[in-house]
Amino acid sequence: MFNKKNITRNTDKIHKQRKIAIPSMGETLDSMVSDTLGRAPFVIIYDEGSKKFECFENVGFKVQDGSGLKVTEIIIEKKADVLLTREIGKKTYSILMQEHIDIQLLDSGGTVKSFINKFLKQ
């Protein structure tokens, strides 16, 4: 499920309740994970502590250029600690790394809920 070669870790955030960002094709946890981060219609932010989630429309979904940067703004603004995604562009990766956000690449498709559950069981 997770491509271990591409995992980055931020050890400062291991012991606190995390917020997990994941690009989604829909507005619920039962939605499929988007194949692309920048072109995902939605970003779901799951709060590990409260077990609740919020869904945000990705305005980058509709723009020609800079779609990854638009979704990056959402992830940073909502204070996500972890990003689970199938792909990530170089600029987006660089910005999120500067913000100390743990990026984990998924190697298959599935629902948002299934990947969050698998991540939390690690």
> The domain that contains 55 carries what CATH number?
3.30.420.130
Residue 36: DSSP 8-state: -
Residue 56 has pLDDT above 50, yes or no: yes
pLDDT tens digits, residue range 77-106? 999 999 999 999 999 999 999 999 999 999
Are residues 111 and 33 in contact, defined by beta-carbon separation less than 8 angstroms?
A: yes
Range of the domain at 104: 4-120
Confidence tier at 59 by pLDDT (50, 70, 90): confident
Name beta bridge partners: 42.
Answer: 24, 57
| Amino acid residing at 108 | S
Number of domains making up the chain: 1
Do 2 and 9 touch, CB atoms closer than 8 A? Answer: no
Q: What is the CA radius of gyration of the chain?
A: 13
CB 53 within 8 A of CB 43: no
Mean of pLDDT over the chain: 87
Q: DSSP letters of 24-48?
A: ESSSSTTSBBPS-STT-SEEEEEET
- Share of residues in the chain with pLDDT > 70 (%): 84
Report field, pTM of the whole predicted structure over 0.95 = no
